[in-house]
Structure 1
Amino acid sequence: MEFGVMLSATSNSYGIPDEELPDVFARSAQVAEESGFDVLVAGDHIVYPGEIPTDYEFSKTGKPPFDTTTSLFDVFEVLSQLAAVTDDIMLGTNVVAAPCRHPLVLTKNIFSLDVLSGGRFDFGVAPGWLKPEFDALDVPFEERGKRTDEFLEIFDLAQEEGVTDYTGDFYEFDEVGFYPQPSGDIPVWIGGKSGATFRRIAEFGDGWSTLWDHPDDVAAARERIMNAWRDYDRDGEPDIGVLRPVNINPDADDDRLLQGSASNIIADIEAYREAGTTRLIVDFFTTDIDEQLDLMQQFGDEIIEAF
């Protein structure tokens, strides 16, 4: 079982002055590394549009914790900064909406970060969900799945050949070079929950990235992923990463997953592992950075050490 932590402050709804965020990012990454986490990930948007759906499923009110005035840091710039202040921890996206950038630009971002980090880049990718963001970027929302597939085809060619051309339904270019080349195979985590997602994992990915799912849901999804995996004659087994908030607190509601005492949380993690989860990424219920750092250390001491 691997453990990761979410750097959610890249979407700065924390009330922290923007000029203080570089230090917050660096401290978070360094504490995560010192606490034994395997990977630190950050989300990705390019803009927050004025029209944001109010059925956001990851808040109690249905309203997202961001708006047009929320500072939004470029994920590749942030992770490049963190590569310079850490040594071993993997640095990843969770997740990039592939159609929001041209494949040549996105591949350049990825390859550059992988080389600058010494081969520590961990790539999470999905078609995306925020239609008004697509509209602002002039990318047809209804084409996002097929555009993601074409990007993944280009990404594979770029890694395998270094120099290539491409002709697809949405992207076309004559022979170009993709250098610097990554130092090794970059792990690709595919996000989403549709049938196309599971096919995409088997065709292009190394694993599945999901949010908040219960262990029973993970087990059911894994069966579907394995069916596609076998259809594509893939060797081995796919990784499965789950992102959930954690609350190490004996007074917390231990009927909720990953809340309560350390022993209760360890039992929940075992249930995830039995369901096929190979990586658990934790987030926190607090936006207080010092509390987050304390929780990272506590999670490392009391939970990661148990595995």
Structure 2
Amino acid sequence: MRFSYAEAMTDPSYHLPLARAAEAAGYAGMTVADSLVYPRESDSAYPYTADGSREFLEDKAFLEPFSLIAAMGAVTSTIRFVPFVLKLAVRPPVLVAKQAGSVAFLTGGRLALGVGLSPWPEDFAVMGVPWERRGRRMDEAIEVVRGLTRGGYFEYHGEFFDLPAVKMTPAPDGPIPILVGGHSEAALRRAARLGDGWMHGGGDPAELDRLLTRLNELRVEEGTADRPFEIHVISPDAYSVDGVRRLADKGVTDVIVGFRDPYVKGPDTQPLATKIERLERFAEAVIAKITP
């Protein structure tokens, strides 16, 4: 079992010292949140809050994920960084491939690319990307990113993207794992068919078992059950040794832990020293007893 530390919507100056502290404490990974814009008006609901409210996002700081990962990678040496999740469907996949490949190269392969659909039609509108057929566009984008980051010439001819034989240099030393986020049937099938793993977005803990069961069924249906596959989850079980072992028995490979509620309005008032103390306390109580 691996442990990823999650901290988002906080003072941007905290990220680098938190990355150093998490690495020193024994965390294997650190998640990085993605947000493009906050619309003044929207009828959209946020899928991971009980009432669908999105107001907690207003005025929260989000640094561009690849820039932040490169900066954190420069002050660390072992911890892996995972966008949780990058809104791939609204971005040009060729540019994402260049960004991801560059960051993977600069960090010595310490990038796993969590990707997903944005729940906000406004993200699609401001990026000039149609909301319609976003799922199929996402599928093609995953294929383009994977192909371009593997090194050598790659060409692609799809419904949305058409590339002649091109290559990007430098290429990462190894493949970048692409982890698909989302709880819908389409997202689970996308993870099973195209992903190197799945990222759970939290929500009702009682739903996790159903999602894991369905994900495993879909991997069998898609003929991918035998290939390596990461499963990253948010769960109350992640906060105890016995709970982590229960998750491992269910096939979970990575747990994501954080130590404050990010879904609250207003600025994060938790001091940096408190954040470090809490992540270190968890590492002593749980990580040290699970990780050899």
Structure 2: gaps (5+ residues): 262-267
Q: Which range is displaced more, 220-229 or 109-118?
A: 220-229
Q: Which residue of 2 aligns with 1:2?
A: 2
> Deviation of residue 76 (structure 1)?
0.5
Structure 2: how far apart are the matches of 1:115 and 1:225? 31
Asked if the contact 1:218–1:275 (Cα under 8 Å) also holds between the matched residues in 2, the reply is: no
Structure 2: how far apart are the matches of 1:285 and 1:295? 10
SS of 2:5 mapped into structure 1: strand
Q: Which residue of 2 aligns with 1:116?
A: 106
- 4+ aligned runs moved over 3 Å, structure 1: 52-61, 213-216
- TM-score normalised by structure 1 residue count: 0.83
**Within 5 A, what are the aligned runs for 1:63-212?**
63-67=54-58, 69-160=59-150, 162-212=152-202
Aligned CA distance change for structure 1 residues 205 and 179 (closer, same or farther; 3 Å): same
Structure 1: how far apart are the matches of 2:202 and 2:60? 24
Q: Which range is displaced more, 94-103 or 193-202?
A: 193-202
> Deviation of residue 102 (structure 1)?
0.4
Structure 1: gaps (5+ residues): 245-256
Equivalent residue letter for 1:230 = V
* % identical equivalent positions: 25
Equivalent residue letter for 1:304 = I
Aligned CA distance change for structure 1 residues 213 and 239 (closer, same or farther; 3 Å): farther
Aligned CA distance change for structure 1 residues 237 and 87 (closer, same or farther; 3 Å): closer
Structure 2: how far apart are the matches of 1:103 and 1:139? 12
> Deviation of residue 65 (structure 1)?
1.6
Q: Which residue of 2 aligns with 1:36?
A: 26
In the alignment, structure 1 residue 292 sits paired with structure 2 residue 267: no
Structure 2: how far apart are the matches of 1:50 and 1:215? 31
| Richer in strand (by share) | 1
Equivalent residue letter for 2:207 = D
> Deviation of residue 272 (structure 1)?
2.5
Structure 2: how far apart are the matches of 1:216 and 1:66? 25
Aligned CA distance change for structure 1 residues 159 and 56 (closer, same or farther; 3 Å): closer
Considering Cα pairs closer than 8 Å and 6+ residues apart, tell me whether 1 or 2 has the greater RCO: 2
Q: Which range is displaced more, 198-207 or 78-87?
A: 198-207
- 1:55-104 Cα shifts (integer Å, max 9, x gaps): 4354577343222x444310100000001000100011110111221011
> Deviation of residue 112 (structure 1)?
0.4
Q: Which range is displaced more, 57-66 or 225-234?
A: 57-66
Asked if the contact 1:51–1:132 (Cα under 8 Å) also holds between the matched residues in 2, the reply is: no
> Deviation of residue 236 (structure 1)?
4.0
Equivalent residue letter for 2:282 = F
Aligned CA distance change for structure 1 residues 160 and 108 (closer, same or farther; 3 Å): closer
Aligned CA distance change for structure 1 residues 224 and 94 (closer, same or farther; 3 Å): same
In the alignment, structure 1 residue 275 sits paired with structure 2 residue 265: no
Q: Which range is displaced more, 167-176 or 50-59?
A: 50-59
Aligned CA distance change for structure 1 residues 130 and 54 (closer, same or farther; 3 Å): closer
- 1:210-268 Cα shifts (integer Å, max 9, x gaps): 12256653332222222222233222453211135xxxxxxxxxxxx359xx7xx3333
Equivalent residue letter for 1:298 = R
Aligned to 1:304, which of 283, 287, 291? 287
SS of 1:121 mapped into structure 2: coil
Aligned CA distance change for structure 1 residues 102 and 236 (closer, same or farther; 3 Å): closer
Structure 1: how far apart are the matches of 2:65 and 2:105? 16
SS of 1:72 mapped into structure 2: coil
Structure 1: how far apart are the matches of 2:234 and 2:206? 15
Q: Which residue of 2 aligns with 1:252?
A: none
- 1:158-187 Cα shifts (integer Å, max 9, x gaps): 244522222211112323222221111212
Aligned CA distance change for structure 1 residues 7 and 180 (closer, same or farther; 3 Å): farther
Q: Which residue of 2 aligns with 1:250?
A: none
